[in-house]
A and B are shown apart, each in its own frame.
Chain A
Amino acid sequence: MSLFTVNNVIINHKVIPNKIVMEKSINITLKIWRQAGPKFKGAFETYKLDNISTDSSFLEMIDELNEQLITERKEPIAFDHDCREGICGMCSLYINGQPHGPDGEITTCQLHMRNFKDGQTITVEPWRSAAFPVIKDLMVDRGAFDKIIQAGGFVSVNTGGIPDGNSIAIGKDIADEAMDAASCIGCGACVATCKNGSAMLFVSAKVSQLALLPQGKVEAAQRAKAMVAKMDELGFGNCTNTGACESECPKNVSISHIARLNREYLVAKFKG
């Protein structure tokens, strides 16, 4: 246990005496992948970090490490992050062999240090996939996901001239299932964890969401065909139904969507 002061408690512009809060903290060792750029060879570097509050998020811990590196006039670790609420899908990180780390149903930004023990060594790597080349340190290029969506992950409607939102009734169960598929955040954990580097969970989530809804049904088969073709072209691997993607997905997207994708894909094949 360490003493920790909250020094920003100022009310009505009168500073009230610092409050002392008892908070748990731990000391850790980090092995972090450093790589100067896509064409450079990377390697692990080891860092020691003391007095990390267990209420800190994993990324706040890396912020602290970076502050320490900056103080030592060293280059901080490059990593992707933005919303820090688990929804933008920008953060990634392979932590102790698991995408988004040991806790379930969360992204790295929502992983908290209370999931680690005092004295523990934590290994941090970028997503490893042929389709996601490393940009620097822990940052990777996930532009391939955008290209898959551009190939067909939409309903072909222009702005304006749309009938009333209630003109098509959609069963609650269908809407809910579409919502579950649509909750994919495009983080890429499914690809990173798959031994084949397949993007099937990502692709199927979009195909399934739109195939379930009447608005998206019109183009369902064509969409599946176009998106799968783009996925293959971009160097993602094949799906061999290991289910690893589903178990590591921070948003619990189900592999049942892959079955629906396969159905739509077959329909497209039959139609030629």
Chain B
Amino acid sequence: MTNKQDSTKVETTKIDARIPEGALAEKWSNYKAHQKLVNPSNKRRLDVIVVGTGLAGASAAASMAEMGFNVLNFCIQDSPRRAHSIAAQGGINAAKNYQNDGDSVYRLFYDTIKGGDYRAREANVYRLAEVSNGIIDQCVAQGVPFAREYGGLLDNRSFGGAQVSRTFYAKGQTGQQLLLGAYSALSRQIGKGAVKLYSRYEMLDVVIIDGRARGIIARNLISGKIERFFAHAVVVGSGGYGNTFFLSTNAMNSNGSALVQMYKKGAYFANPAYAQIHPTCIPVHGDKQSKLTLMSESLRNDGRIWVPKKKEDAEAIRAGKKKATDLAEGERDYYLERRYPAFGNLVPRDVASRAAKERCDAGFGVGNTGLAVYLDFSDAINRLGENVVRERYGNLFQMYEKIVDDNPYNMPMMIYPAMHYTMGGIWVDYELQTSVKGLFCIGEANFSDHGANRLGASALMQGLADGYFVLPYTIQNYLADQIQVPRLSTELPEFEEAEKAVNDKIKKLMSIQGKHSVDSIHRELGLIMWDFVGMGRNKAGLETALEKIKAVRKEFWSNVYIPGTEGDLNNELEKALRVADFIEIGELMARDALMREESCGGHFREEFQTPEGEALRNDEDFSFASCWKFAGEGKEPELLKETLDYEFIHRQQRNYKS
């Protein structure tokens, strides 16, 4: 293959994902049948650290504690229940085929691979589809109040990228209900003493002893004290890095720092450029905005997306001279239905986002900035009645009205794409183990299952699959060899050095005493990311981004101002530590996007598109997961490649038109 970037070192090292032999449908069963297990009395002697209490972290911590392992669980919030999984709205996919509409494990697997634009690992995705059904059963048993039909059976709805109804939901609060289910299982284990919970603690480094992860350094966010924790294995489920963009649908405290810590200790950062811009978010209202709010994809079941057909109408609407409801049916361009007749408003997120951007860039956008399109429920209200629509989406409509001050029952919603989810993350093998032994990564934090684009309602599925049904098995294959390892002292020099490095970094930050607030620098980084590493990327823009990010890094490390002291509760210091890492991630994202000279899923390089403006993949040269290996501060990272071989699926250009 050729690589035109002279700035990037390319190695031909092959990365081994350690995928079990055998037919696709038998790999996971075979693996479980032959993996090493740990007997009950030995489990009690093994400590596992789990960082994060979202769907992945909470379910993993609870499940491992139920098995008998001694679990230490960390979260930055005041309670595990507040992890950002709580905000997921629409639903969770599973291949139950309750609707008798032709669904199967294979179809869910196929849709996920296709939705990810053929950039995910077949064996992992098949396993995900396989365990999806057990997740629903598990959650029902925990008392998760999924929506039911009148006959008392579970209800489903449709999500983007699928032609079947396989999405289970609990009103518009599915993430909340699933997380509270996992939280209740976790709480039960905390009550029993099997899990020790550390809330308002933030991981600041992973400790490596003889090449294996053996603990973490964490900061008590109330006292500011830096503490050391040992474990036989470390599991990180700290979520994605979408907040690199400053404005995103992520929670304010969501961050990618644990990922950067792992990366700097030898774990590869894979596919950092694969980020999902979600098509249906409430548009930006002004420059003091702190975050963006998602409007669930489930709304596309009944909402129709359009912009005015004529530019004059769009201009009149932007100037406030016309309203959406003034335009007759024939004056509206339902552009998704027009461009993608087979999937219509339910095309995958990357496709819907780009289509919205295309219309707005061409001058057909609405709202006072011109950066919005309509999501219209008038047809659904006429067909089903307002009550049915209220029943399905009431809480989302209420949320929209509170934020925008406009009633979506009478006037179409205005939406625009926003940064939402990151498919990239820490590289893991089939066992969810990183390239560092004893260091595991689960949920959104890893790179594994969604390829270059995640389908709606699949994040909850993956988080819970990893936490309930995959990691608790695979980690035993590692821990079985650790039963002779005693609980190590945290006085060992490796802990000492890691803590010193953390303290030095904090002291350095506190000593800068510059002019800029942490947020102001973060905002600057976010604008660079949105403009040059967002929905449309190109070579010149990405090179500009790399230059600009360098400047931001310099400004940050020489001119940031953090008030207060380090030995106390200090929100500004917390934010500064995270922004320091967002800068590193931003650079990696731009570097990865520049290297990948093709368009696939959420990664759209303007130079590589079909005549119709669709993403143009290059399987010949880019059928690999890019794995970035840290090479030292100030040095260019090394690029390693995991080749993606498609044994079972025939790759084709994604088609949602027919």
The residues of A with any CB-CB pair to B shorter than 8 Å are 4-13, 19, 21, 23, 37, 53, 55-57, 59-60, 63-64, 67, 70-71, 73-76, 78, 80-90, 103, 105-106, 110, 112, 114, 135-136, 139, 141-143, 145-146, 149-151, 153-160, 162-166, 168-172, 175-176, 178-179, 182-183, 185-186, 209-210, 213, 215-216
Contact = CB atoms under 8 A, between A and B. Distances in A.
A210 B184 CA distance: 11
Contact of A178 (B62, B96, B145): B145
Contacts of B541: 13
B145 A75 contact: no
B608 to A, nearest CB: 16
A11 B364 CA distance: 13
Among A9, A87, A160, chain B packs the most CB atoms within 10 A around the CB of: A87
A6 B287 contact: yes
B78 A143 contact: yes
A96 B341 CA distance: 53
Given A53-B286, A85-B87, A172-B150, A90 B78 contact: yes
28 contacts: A6-B369, A8-B530, A12-B536, A55-B285, A73-B563, A74-B563, A76-B572, A81-B252, A82-B252, A84-B290, A85-B87, A85-B293, A88-B82, A88-B87, A90-B77, A90-B82, A135-B569, A142-B79, A146-B81, A146-B199, A154-B142, A160-B138, A165-B96, A165-B154, A171-B152, A175-B148, A178-B143, A185-B176
Contact of A9 (B144, B146, B369): B369
Nearest to A146: B79
B571 interface: yes
A154 B141 contact: no
B157 to A, nearest CB: 15
B398 A105 contact: yes
A21 B87 contact: no
Contacts of B360: 11
Contacts of B138: 157, 159-160, 162
B351 interface: no
Which among B146, B175, B187 has the highest number of chain A CB atoms within 10 Å? B187
B532 interface: yes
Given A21-B368, A215-B142, A160 B149 contact: no
Scoring A6, A78, A80, A88 by chain B CB atoms within 10 A of each residue's CB, the highest score goes to A88
B517 A67 contact: yes
B547 interface: no
Contact of B405 (A10, A112, A178): A112
B41 interface: no
Contacts of A37: 569
Contacts of A185: 176
5 smallest beta-carbon distances between A and B, as pairs: A169-B152, A154-B184, A150-B191, A179-B145, A178-B145
B540 A151 contact: no
A7 B287 contact: yes
A70 B561 contact: yes
B201 interface: no
B143 A213 contact: yes
A103 B401 CA distance: 12
B199 to A, nearest CB: 7
Nearest to B197: A146
A150 B188 CA distance: 5
Contact of A67 (B77, B137, B143, B520): B520
Contacts of A110: 399, 402-403
B527 A8 contact: yes
A155 B150 contact: no
A63 B519 contact: yes
> Counting chain A CB atoms within 10 Å of each CB, which of B79, B141, B183 scores highest?
B141
A183 B89 CA distance: 12
B643 interface: no
Contact of A6 (B251, B284, B531): B284
B67 to A, nearest CB: 8
B177 interface: yes
A82 B371 contact: no
A209 B185 contact: no
B137 A164 contact: yes
A172 B286 contact: no
B469 A159 contact: yes
Interface centre among A63, A70, A110, A139 (most CB of B within 10 A): A70
A172 B148 contact: yes
Nearest to B253: A82
Given A146-B79, A146-B80, A183-B173, A84 B151 contact: no
Interface residues of B, number: 98
A168 B151 CA distance: 11
A251 B197 CA distance: 27
A57 B290 contact: yes
Given A87-B87, A110-B399, A110-B403, 6 more contacts: A6-B286, A11-B361, A87-B86, A157-B185, A158-B63, A166-B153
A159 B519 contact: no
B241 interface: no
B244 interface: no
A209 B143 contact: yes
Nearest to B562: A70
Interface string B115-153: 000000000000000000010111111111111111111
Contact of A175 (B146, B284, B291, B405): B146
B304 to A, nearest CB: 24
Contact of A166 (B84, B98, B361, B606): B98
Contact of A86 (B399, B469, B530, B572): B399
Nearest to A186: B81
A99 to B, nearest CB: 16
A100 B144 CA distance: 27
B567 interface: no
A116 to B, nearest CB: 14
A145 B472 contact: no
Contacts of B234: none
A143 B222 CA distance: 13
B386 interface: no
B207 interface: no
B399 A75 contact: no
B84 A82 contact: yes
B190 interface: yes
Contact of A19 (B59, B176, B369, B569): B369
B152 A8 contact: no
Interface string B75-95: 001111110101100000000
A9 to B, nearest CB: 6
B355 to A, nearest CB: 15
Given A60-B288, A186-B79, A150 B187 contact: yes
Nearest to A103: B402
A157 B140 CA distance: 11
B531 A10 contact: yes
B87 A83 contact: yes
B180 interface: yes
Contacts of B180: 182
A146 to B, nearest CB: 5
A171 B78 contact: no
A185 B188 CA distance: 19
A73 B572 CA distance: 12
B538 interface: yes
Contact of A159 (B66, B171, B399, B544): B66
Contacts of A23: 286
Contacts of A136: 569
Contact of A76 (B149, B154, B177, B571): B571
B199 A157 contact: no
A216 B140 CA distance: 10
Interface in B414-459: none
B528 to A, nearest CB: 10
Contacts of B82: 82-83, 88-90
A179 B286 contact: no
A157 B187 contact: no
